[in-house]
Amino acid sequence: MKKVAVDAMGGDFAPLEIVLGGIQAVRDYKIPIVLVGDSEQIRKILADNGEDANSLIEVIHASQVIEMGEHPGMAFRKKKDASISVAARLVKQGKCDAVVAPGSTGAAVTAGLLGIGRIKGIERPAIVTPIPNEKGGHTFLIDAGASANPKPENLLQNALLGYNYAKYVRHIKEPRVGLLNIGSESTKGSALMTETYELLSKQTWFPFAGNAEGRDIPTGEFDVVVSDGFTGNVVLKFGEGLGKLFITLLKDSIYRGGVLAKLGGLLLKPALKKYMMKKFDYAEEGGAPLLGIDGTLIISHGSSRAKAIRNAIRLANQVAEEEIPTLVKNTLNVAIESE
């Protein structure tokens, strides 16, 4: 098991839900954790739950917090003792193997970039997010918002990161990597995309499966879909909103459809939960890894509760096990030597 530092002060329900999630991860998976934040509050929650003497739980005090509204870069530089900064430093110093960062995505990306540092050869980190697909698995969208104005080289690097993630962490045998664009032909789309298409076609690190359109993300025809962070972020949030709309309309159909529809809804509910809702429940995954940094960092939603945090810690352990940074460094070295 890897040791996971958790920013216990991040997100809307910190520290209570974060600490409870940490306790669940320790109990369910025996993953050792370090809770970083206001030690007095954290210790009280641990004591209330009978976990004040668990040898798998450490507490490290941090006196500051980066708030949602703050400029991430400035706040990170100023608040040396912010919980997220201290957690990132634990990874940088080799005292922990991974960080779970709930709350501000900007603060988490900055902590990864400045606190842990980039992999040599990767210019910008990228967020990889799973989207459920028709084949029963997930399509991994990279980048979901770390870098809004990338260059073709950055997208090539995203593709390499996503490929390694799909293959080694998610155990997809031969991941199909596609480029998110507005048509299947190589000449389609913006200048950024046609140039990236060329780079992806020329590289020899992994097979390139061509352009993916928006509708291809949920089909599962591609395992990894490479995107600029702007489009990726819009797509991800749009999917979130559309998911909510579907649920609303489903409920509407049940409540407005009369007695028979209500009965139908009641009978269908357990199956809906099992086969549908679970797939769209963010907490099942718990967070999205920031790839391209020289360590493991999982970004969790600001609205994360205990279950999401438990699963984010589980994911952090999984990602750290596979040592993506080493895999990527090896690929990049090979590429440099063969040139």
Which residues of the chain form contacts with a copy of itself (CB under 8 A)?
132-134, 145, 148-149, 180, 182, 189-191, 193, 213-219, 229-231, 233-246, 248-250, 252-254, 256-258, 260-261, 263-272, 274-276, 279
Nearer to a copy of itself, 121 or 220 (CB): 220
Q: What is the C-alpha separation between 286 and 299, in angstroms, rounded? A: 9
- Nearest distance from residue 38's CB to a copy of itself, in Å? 28
- Nearest distance from residue 67's CB to a copy of itself, in Å? 14
Nearer to a copy of itself, 30 or 269 (CB): 269
Torsions phi, psi for 35 (to 5 deg): -90, 120
- Nearest distance from residue 310's CB to a copy of itself, in Å? 25
- Nearest distance from residue 166's CB to a copy of itself, in Å? 19
Helix axes 306-322, 16-29, angle to 10 degrees: 50
Residue ranges of alpha helices (H) inside the chain are 16-29, 39-48, 72-78, 83-92, 105-110, 152-164, 191-202, 229-256, 258-275, 282-285, 306-322, 324-338
Nearer to a copy of itself, 266 or 334 (CB): 266
- Nearest distance from residue 245's CB to a copy of itself, in Å? 4
Nearer to a copy of itself, 68 or 332 (CB): 68
Nearer to a copy of itself, 121 or 189 (CB): 189
Let me know: does 286 contact 4? Beta carbons within 8 Å.
Answer: no
Which residue type sits at 160? L
- Nearest distance from residue 26's CB to a copy of itself, in Å? 33
Q: What is the C-alpha separation between 170 and 140, in angstroms, rounded? A: 10
Nearer to a copy of itself, 121 or 218 (CB): 218
| CA dist list (Å): 125 to 111, 122, 215 | 11, 7, 26
Let me know: does 6 contact 22? Beta carbons within 8 Å.
Answer: yes
